[in-house]
Amino acid sequence: MVSALGTAAALGGCGSDSGSEDVTLRLVAADYGSSKGDSSQKYWDDLVGRYEKEHPGVRVDVSVYSWEDVDAKVREMVDAGEAPDMAQIGAYADYAAKGLLYPASEVLSIPVQADFLPQLADAGTVNRLQYGLPFAASTRVLVYNKSLFADAGIDSAPSTWKDLAEDAAALKDAGVETPYALPLGPEEAQAEALQWLLSGGSGYIDDVGSYDLDSEQNVKTLTWLKDELVDKGLTGPTAPAELNRAEAAAAFARGEVGMTSAHPALLRAAAEKGVELGTATMPGESGRSATTLGVADWMMAFKENGHRKEIGSFLDFVYDEENVLAFSRAYDVLPVTTSASEAMGDDEADAALAPFLQRLPESRFYPVGKVSWAAVSAAVKQRIGEAVAPGGNPVKVLQQLQEVALEADSAA
């Protein structure tokens, strides 16, 4: 790929909204690190230092906040009339719907915009215009503890729901406390739930983009989970509605979990604890699932300060192949551009990420282009675990969530 630095002149509408004086851009970004030593601030400081050397008329101030705080911080700035020039956070649709963002075509050079993976570019659209610029991605696959599988006499990963239930039962008989970790707690229940709903052939929306949470397939999927895994004691001592993703991942890394659905970051955590894991496509009802969950975080450019040209120049640099690869490798996420994805796929040093990278073209993402998604996601986080609880009713829970979704969609 030609470096984005050489294509700045191809910006859609090259005229700057700002004057000729020096410009300071403000970027608010999320922290992907697990400690101060590997904070994303380190990545941004290096990238900004290199950019400013090439662009002496532009300074970039980057403020990094934890995922718990970053969305609220940006919201606070916007509400105060002090929007940053750019924000790298979890959702963009609300700001786009209010007319606060530049579309991608007004800030990015054509080669950079065209380099986004198509399914990610599509997920960044509102009313057919791309406002969300994918920044980092991940997919989910089934991971399993090879040692626990061997001890239970299991010689391959499950390919169907029936296989998974049988393997979970064998793991339980072998003394594994949590045969399958099912994190439907409020931290990220919307992810685990969607992974399963996709494996059942449905999801949160239908083929035309309308909410369809109470579809026949979704009811069937959650009913199977409740009857064949949860009620049979195959999901461990913590109720799924109370189990968060981070806790499930930590338990897997300690060697206490037979199987779970996971993103790439678990690879490093398990390796550090000496747990040898295997990966496989998520099982489906009658064969391996044709689709998997894809998750993306987003970059967006605010109009408020009128720094369109400078924002575009900086973002072209951010999305240069080597910078995308550097961030992806540092924080165990997947590249969002075709050029960086191909480079990662060809590099043997990235072989551990191959199972996740290979699933990216088949991924389905949250309906983040819907302004209503934030409210629907919050409701799913709080309620979906009830569907598989003792005495839970999948039909009732999904119908209630569908009502929430339709009301939120109507309000938006």
Residue with tokens 């697990």: 34
Q: Tell me phi and psi for residue 284, to 5 degrees.
A: -115, -175
Is the model's pLDDT at 215 over the cut of 50? yes
What whole-number distance in Å separates Cα of residue 151 and Cα of residue 161?
21
CATH superfamily membership of 141-281+372-411:
Periplasmic binding protein-like II (3.40.190.10)
Joined together, the tokens standing for residue 360 give 């990216």
- Which of 94, 92, 362, 367 is closest to 209 using CA atoms? 367
Average pLDDT for residues 58-71, to the nearest whole number?
95
pLDDT digits (tens, 9 = 90+) for 316-373: 999 999 999 999 999 999 999 999 999 999 999 999 899 999 999 889 999 999 999 9
Query: Do 148 and 256 meet the contact criterion of CB atoms below 8 Å apart?
Result: no
pLDDT bin (cut points 50, 70, 90) of residue 17 is: low
- 9-138+295-364 and 141-281+372-411 share one CATH topology? yes
Burial of 358 (0-12, 13-18, 19+ CB in 10 A): middle
Cα–chain center distance at 281? 17
Average per-residue pLDDT in the chain?
92
* Domain ranges (residues) in the chain: 9-138+295-364, 141-281+372-411
Fold designation for 9-138+295-364: D-Maltodextrin-Binding Protein; domain 2 (3.40.190)
* DSSP per-residue string spanning 247-280: HHHHHHHTT-EEEEEE-THHHHHHHHTT--EEEE
